[in-house]
Structure 1
Amino acid sequence: MPISKLLSEIPDSYFGKTMGRKVEHGSLPLINMAVGIPDGETPKVIVDEFKHAVQKPENQKYGAFHGKESFKKAIVDFYKRQYDVELDQEEEVCILFGTKNGLVALPICVVDPDDYVLLPNPGYTDYLAGVLLARAHPYSLELTSENHYLPNWDDIDHEILDKTKLIYLTYPNNPTGSVASEQFFDDTINKFKNSKTNIVHDFAYSAFGFDKKNPSILQSEGAKDTAIEIFSLSKGYNMSGYRVGFAVGNKDMIAALKKYQTHTHAGMFGALQDASTVALNECDDFLVEQNEIFKNRRNHFEAALREVDIPFEPMKGGIFLWLQTPAQYDGEAFVEYLLQEQSILVAPGIPFGDNGKNYVRISLALSDSELAEGAKRLQNLAHLYK
């Protein structure tokens, strides 16, 4: 089968390769703790609006390339209400067909071949593909437990920073569950505001902040001069199958994304926009409920691990726990051990960057009973950590 040289040089997507595959496991019933898809149902008010909107004649035809005014206004109102951030709905908002599309497309839109792009290590696996498609140079943005998985800008070689056109950040962090403070975002914006370096903040897990509400990078003074933020409806609203998100912030990057999308898409299905408008306008309380559900899950799961002294990274936000492997296993070997010995499926840390080699990622997007059983089975392995 013919394949371009460029595409052949891009690694296969880890989750594209593994999601839905048949898994061979031990004798116990399988507990799948690998998938980051919230397990609850989409709120009824959103589903009802979608069912109604499908029947509207205007939604059965091509729509405006850059989205309905009602949806864009809902985005602007949401950001003002949640983060006290003012947005121009025409110049500072770009509707996305799932946030992954925007995150992967962005380098093609805003960097040139041989520019440098800093990618969090560990961080979401598919950022790399966008950088390689743009023929730019990915560079590891080292995140360590000692610094709470926040980058230390002073540790990066000045020559690399001078050549860096784009930086990816993601908080709450997938996979580590770490979070960023307003002070970190302020310092980051101040560091890069007068440079040629732009920032994209992947805010997919915005709803999940367990000790305090997660800040938006756009709350920092001057942020829109250099940063955009990409927001997902998938996680907070249990809308992963709808594939709706948006980018907001710096108008030049937004314009580039919108231009790109005029050549790759022909406008989002109107019923999806109408359902998403209801989500943003009417479901603030649901976001609070989601956060409480996962906070309680975090509390119980971490307590079970502490009880038997199994080491892990404290989970401050998001829906994943970053678990250290026993000394005799790397992440991939431990995944296989868990499958065969405890019938637990988790994700290895290595697809998220080489700093994840000795970790596995555990999703808390399961029922309370499944999580309790998963924690109990992990407790049986405490002896491996001695």
Structure 2
Amino acid sequence: MVISDKLAQIPDSYFGKTMGRKVEHGSKTLINMAVGIPDGETPQGIIDCLSESIRIPENQKYGAFHGKDSFKQAIVDFYKRQYQVELDKEDEVCILYGTKNGLVNLPQCIVNPGEYVLLPDPGYTDYLAGVLLADAKPHALVLKAPYYLPQWNKVDKEVLSKTRLVYLTYPNNPTGSVATQSVFDEAVAQFKNTKTKIVHDFAYSAFGFDNKNPSILQSEGAKDLAIEVFSLSKGYNMSGFRVGFAVGNKEMIQALKKFQTHTHAGMFGALQDAATYALNHYDSFLETQNETFKRRRDEFEKKLKEAQIPFEPMSGGIFLWLQTPKGYDGAAFVTYLLQEQSILVAPGIPFGEQGRNYVRISLALNDAELVEAAKRIQSLKHLYQ
């Protein structure tokens, strides 16, 4: 097999390995609760805009490497409107070809070999690959139940002094926990006047069930050391479009942009036009998305409580973090659910050591499937007694 030593040392992506694979399950109809792809359709206006934009001659040619002015202006306007954050569209905005690219590539842009990067545990699985590609040292930022928030005084001081990048993600994937503005204030204060930078993965920004999710850039001084990565995939049902952006600290943004000039030749103009239309016209759709998933959360959690099945409180995002029964780790419980109940979920362990005795359940399914899934899981209450 031909593969570089560096690539060989990086674990396979869990979702890259499992998404789309054929699974063997029990006798019931399969319910796939493993993948966080929103189940709704992309709003028709966005589809119409994309269709029309494909026919524009200038969109059929190479475009500006760093994106259309109209798209960057829409990003600036959106952040001003939603978060009261002022941005410079040239210095503080970087268009991303899917936010995963930005999140995984960032360490290669700003971290040197041997330097530490703090990764949330539990947290998104593919952050690690970016750290290893940069020959940096990953270190767990342990997040404890039930709120899964950073405790900076519990991180080794020597590690902190050598840390050059910290990943945060709220609403948290996989736990459904959220951060208040004070959490971001503390993070910014912790690393003020140091060499450490912060990247906040804001993929599930639209989903805050008790309060609107804050942006880290709303914290005083945040742009001195932090960027935020925003995705159109979840809130707008645009996961297949692969469009997102990073905003914030000028130095980090410019490093990302330089990296992309060597790996990409500009995003397809029609995609940019569709994303621009989404940002400019669908604020109310984001509110509808949030209401939908809040209702799903309320109904699903109610069923689990009735059966006295333990889970962590879900305050945002689209995933519920379910504890496994005694005697099962996440992997074993995934197998059990698949064989006995024909339910496919994700094991907690790929998200970090803190997820060993959990599974992640996606609520991105239609109502009928969620009702049936809740009934099947309720029937397992004897395992928890």
Interval containing the TM-score (normalised by the shorter chain)? over 0.9
- Aligned counterpart, 2:253: 254
* Aligned mates of 1:88, 1:94 — CA distance in 2: 11
Match of 1:92 in 2: 92
Specify the code of the residue in structure 2 equivalent to 1:288: E
Match of 2:291 in 1: 292
1:328 shift after superposition? 1.1
Amino acid at match of 2:80: K
Q: Secondary structure of 1:140's match? A: strand
d(CA) in 2 for partners of 1:220, 1:275? 30
Aligned-partner Cα distance in 2 for 1:31–1:296: 19
Write the letter of the residue equivalent to 2:99.
T
Give, in angstroms, the shift of residue 85 of structure 1: 0.1
Provide the rounded CA distance (Å) in 2 between the counterparts of 1:168 and 1:317.
18
In 2, the alpha carbon distance for the partners of 1:258 and 1:193 equals 24
Q: Which amino acid aligns with 1:303?
A: K
Q: Which string of whole-angstrom CA distances, capped at 9 and with x for unpartnered residues, describes residues 205-255 of structure 1?
A: 000000000000000000000000000000000000000000000000000
Pairwise CA distance, 1:2: 1.0
Q: Which residue of structure 2 lines up, in the alignment, with residue 35 of structure 1?
A: 35
2:383 pairs with 1:384: yes
- 1:247 and 1:241 map into 2 onto residues whose CA distance is 18
Give the C-alpha shift of residue 176 in structure 1: 0.1
Distance (Å, rounded) in 2 between the aligned partners of 1:336 and 1:160: 37
* Paired residue secondary structure (1:145): coil
SS at match of 2:332: helix
Task: Supply the distance in 2 between the matched residues of 1:379 and 1:2 (Cα, whole angstroms).
Answer: 48
* Letter of the 2:144 counterpart: T
The Cα shift of 1:187 comes to: 1.1
Tell me, in whole angstroms, the C-alpha distance in 2 between the residues paired with 1:275 and 1:296: 29
After superposition, what is the alpha-carbon deviation per residue over 1:310-338, rounded to whole angstroms, capped at 9, x for unaligned? 00001000000000000110000000000
Mapped pair 1:111 → 2:102: no
Q: Distance in 2 between matches of 1:19 and 1:152?
A: 33
- SS of the residue aligned with 1:289? helix
Q: Percentage identity across aligned positions?
A: 74
The two structures have a TM-score, normalised by structure 2, of 1.00
- Equivalence map 1:110-129=2 (5 Å): 110-129=110-129
Secondary structure at 1:123 match in 2: coil
Amino acid at match of 2:107: P
Superimposed CA distance per residue, residues 161-215 of structure 1 (whole angstroms, 9 cap, x where no aligned partner): 0000000000000000000000111111111111110000000000000000000
**What's the counterpart of residue 81 of structure 2?**
81
Q: Cα RMSD between the aligned structures?
A: 0.4
In the alignment, structure 2 segments of 5+ residues that lack a partner are none
**TM-score, reference length from structure 1:** 0.99
Match of 1:275 in 2: 274
Distance 2:105 2:186 in 1: 27
CA distance in 2, matches of 1:164, 1:79: 29
SS in 2 for 1:312: coil
Q: Distance in 2 between matches of 1:81 and 1:350?
A: 38
TM-superposed CA distance for 1:157, in Å, is 1.0
Cα distance in 2, alignment partners of residues 152 and 35 from structure 1:
29
Deviation per CA, 1:30-60: give whole Å up to 9, x if none. Answer: 0000010000000001000000000000000
Q: Which residue of 2 aligns with 1:231?
A: 230
Structure 1 partner of 2:22: 22
Q: Does 1:70 align with 2:70?
A: yes
Task: Give 1:48's aligned amino acid.
Answer: D
1:26 to partner: Cα distance = 0.3
AA paired with 2:380?
L
Q: 3-state DSSP class of the match of 1:47?
A: helix
Where in structure 1 are there 5+ consecutive unaligned residues?
none
Is residue 2:325 matched to residue 1:326? yes
Q: Once superposed, which parts of structure 1, at least 4 consecutive aligned residues long, lie more than 6 Å away?
A: none
Q: How does 1:1-386 map to 2 (within 5 A)?
A: 1-146=1-146, 148-386=147-385
Q: Which amino acid aligns with 2:226?
A: A
SS in 2 for 1:138: strand
